[in-house]
């Protein structure tokens, strides 16, 4: 009898432990930005059924955009959601690029895009496979040229999103320019002194 009670107790304890197990933790990364006053481009066109950018847009030819460069620390599937905040439900449009983003060549490296998810003021896409060895660019823009505003973007998936910092050559170039400016200023002052 004691053996049966011990086995039953162990089985109950194991059942409680298994019920309490949670699935792998999903990470969310949220940021807010605006397309107002930003550079413009001719955004791509996406057929809503396919979500793959295939042609330049005929109506979003001078649309302002905001770019967010990032990496992920874990390979897997990620979801993207952009919500238009101010003005409420302005007609936002979201694109994802891999490796690099060139607004002058909007189809190059385009992975996916979406306008209404599922309605105006929300754009996004789900289950996009990302790897740890790539740079990604999330581009938020408007459907029409006049579509612009503040937005909130969320990237969620099995790993953390890491904002990419400027490449070392850009940092080095900025440092060299600052030093050269300082040298020229000191030289100019020295030449003006009697």
Q: Is the peptide bond before 148 cis (omega within 30 degrees of 0)?
A: no
Residue 10 within any structural domain of the chain = no
Within-domain flag for 136? yes
pLDDT at 192: 58
Q: What angle do CA 88, 116, 47 make, to 5 degrees?
A: 150
- Structural domains of the chain, count: 1
In a domain, 142, yes or no: yes
Domain that holds residue 76: 26-166
Of residues 169 and 69, more confidence is placed in 69
Measure Cα distances from 20 to 16, 17, 57, 89, 186 in Å: 6, 5, 50, 40, 69
Residue 149 belongs to some domain of the structure: yes
Please report, to the nearest 10 degrees, the dihedral formed by the alpha carbons of residues 119, 46, 91, 111 taken in order: 100
Does 182 fall in a domain? no
Please check whether residue 173 lies inside any domain of the structure: no
Kindly write down the DSSP assignment for every residue of 91-120, as one continuous string. -EEEEEEES---TTSTTTTEEEEES-SSST
**pLDDT higher than 60, residue 155:** yes
Give CA–CA dist 33/42, Å, rounded. Answer: 20
Model pLDDT for residues 175-191, shown as the tens digit of each residue: 555 555 555 555 555 55
User: Is residue 180, in this structure, part of any structural domain at all?
Assistant: no
Under the banding of pLDDT at 50, 70 and 90, the label for residue 23 is very low
Q: How crowded is residue 143: how many other Cβ atoms within 10 Å of its Cβ?
A: 19
In a domain, residue 188? The reply is no
Tell me how far apart the alpha carbons of residues 95 and 178 are, in angstroms, rounded to a whole number: 35
Q: Which of 163, 167, 137 is nearest to 65 (CA)?
A: 137
Domain harbouring 77, CATH code = 2.60.120.380
- pLDDT confidence tier of residue 47, bands split at 50, 70 and 90: confident
121 in Cβ contact with 88 (< 8 Å): yes
């Amino acid at each position: 009898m004691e053996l049966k009670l011990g086995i039953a107790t162990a089985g109950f304890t194991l059942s409680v432990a298994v019920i309490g197990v949670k699935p792998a933790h999903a990470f969310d990364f949220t940021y807010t930005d605006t397309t107002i006053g930003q550079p413009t481009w001719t955004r791509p066109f996406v057929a809503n059924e396919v979500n793959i950018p295939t042609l330049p847009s005929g109506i979003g030819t001078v649309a302002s955009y905001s770019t967010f460069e990032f990496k992920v620390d874990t390979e897997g599937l990620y979801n993207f959601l952009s919500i238009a905040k101010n003005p409420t439900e302005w007609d936002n449009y979201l694109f994802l690029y891999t490796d690099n983003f060139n607004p002058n060549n909007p189809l190059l490296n385009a992975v996916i895009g979406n306008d209404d998810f599922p309605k105006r003021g929300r754009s996004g896409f789900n289950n996009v496979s990302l790897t740890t060895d790539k740079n990604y660019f999330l581009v938020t823009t408007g459907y029409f040229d006049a579509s612009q505003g503040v937005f909130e973007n969320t990237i969620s998936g099995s790993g953390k999103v890491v904002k990419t910092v400027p490449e070392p050559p850009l940092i080095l170039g900025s440092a060299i320019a600052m030093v050269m400016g300082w040298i020229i200023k000191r030289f100019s002052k020295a030449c003006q002194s009697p």
